[in-house]
Amino acid sequence: MSQVRAAVLEAFEQPLQIRTYPDPGAPAPGEALVAIDIAGICGTDVHLWLGQLAIPLPNIMGHEAAGRIEKLGPGLDRDWRGEKLAPGDRVTWASSIACGECFYCRVKRQPTRCLTRKAYGISYCAADAPHLRGGYAEKILLRAGTAIFRIPDAVPSEALIGAGCALTTTIHASERAPLEWGDSVVVQGTGPVGLAAIAVARVAGAGVIVAIGGPKHRLELARDFGADVVVDIAEVTTAEARRDAVLAAVGPYGADQVIECVGYPAAVNEGIPLCRDGGQYVVLGQYADAGNISFNPHTITRKQLRVIGSWGFEPRHVDRAIRLLERDAGLREKFACGITHRFPLDQADAALENARSLAGGKTVILP
């Protein structure tokens, strides 16, 4: 039986190990075996590696990936959109599967909070057959019920993975906290989620967009994605000074919307005062448990502030992200060029370290 190689997280904060698993062979009904061309390293992967979210070990991480169909199981011949699927097609997929039956799926129509939701690269133990449930591997076996999307010819895989789950997550957040035309927006953080938030805010009709972050190469990317003003945390070193810079850009009342895309709790305390009275504060970056903060809730009442959380995304947000990239050549190029570091599977651990160091833009693995 042939073997499939994967980079495996066996212990938190320890190097990934290259392991081999049996090739699954013929997929069961509704399943798809996909040879992975490219897998993105998300900021969440760094948090997972640090043990900030409870996941089973060993684990093949990687919830952002694209590849080519190797084999289709019986009964699977069309993608989520109803388009024909065949071996050799380039595809991507929604990273999680909701049950469709629980309280949140049926009654509240919030499948991202499904009680039995499982995500590729996060929720599956690599010790359990069929093992291959993450993107840091040569192949992945997609479960029956996975929302698979044939990638349009106009969309390079690097553009899709350069956008990664950051774009789909941000599109979901934009539904939960919609902008009005011309709203001023502050984005805290200039990593992949922050860049996607800038792009989505620009497409949604935002007026002035301010990005707070660093290092300098990421601030340059933020300008390229649509930020009108950037605030370098290495140069503007206090929260008070950064607030002054924001107010100088958006006006004395504060921003209509502030989007936290940092992933570190202290950013929330800094971000809330940047909102105008009656504004929106969107917490998007706190996917993992990085710790607690303390703040005075009177601020929320006094400012009549709307504080909105957004978790993950649904297949329809993947569809919208692909359609956005398909019609916007400039955005495709920006996300593709946002990939600055590429590593083979054997160097997956170095890739993870590189992403953690913020040494460049998007880091990807090419299995």
In the chain, what are the domain boundaries?
3-164+313-366, 178-309
Q: What gap in Å lies between CA 128 and CA 157, rounded to an integer?
A: 29
Token pair for 251: 């006006």
pLDDT score recorded for residue 345: 97
**Same fold yes or no, 3-164+313-366 and 178-309:** no
User: 227 Cβ partners below 8 Å, 6+ apart?
Assistant: 187, 198, 209, 210, 211
Q: What gap in Å lies between CA 63 and CA 346, rounded to an integer?
A: 18
Task: Give domain 178-309's CATH number out of 3.40.50.720, 3.30.1360.170, 3.30.1370.60, 3.40.50.1100.
Answer: 3.40.50.720
Whose CA is closest to 158, among 325, 348, 320, 312? 325
- 357: buried, middle or exposed (CB in 10 Å: 19+, 13-18, 0-12)? exposed
Task: Give domain 3-164+313-366's CATH number out of 3.20.190.10, 1.10.12.10, 1.20.210.10, 3.90.180.10.
Answer: 3.90.180.10
Whose CA is closest to 117, among 133, 101, 97, 135? 97
Whose CA is closest to 236, among 261, 211, 204? 211
- 167-194: b (≥16 Cβ within 10 Å) or e: bbbbbbbbeebebeeebbbbbbbbbbbb
- 99: buried, middle or exposed (CB in 10 Å: 19+, 13-18, 0-12)? middle
pLDDT score recorded for residue 359: 78
- Distances in Å between the Cα of 89 and the Cα atoms of 37, 65, 75 are 12, 14, 17
- The mean pLDDT values, 10 residues at a time, for the chain of 367 residues are 93 95 96 98 91 93 98 98 98 96 96 96 96 98 98 97 96 97 97 95 97 94 96 97 98 98 94 98 90 92 96 96 97 94 95 87 93
Q: What gap in Å lies between CA 340 and CA 367, rounded to an integer?
A: 17
Alpha helices in 188-341 (DSSP H): 192-203, 216-225, 239-250, 266-271, 298-302, 315-327, 329-337
Whose CA is closest to 283, among 313, 254, 299, 259? 259
pLDDT score recorded for residue 316: 97
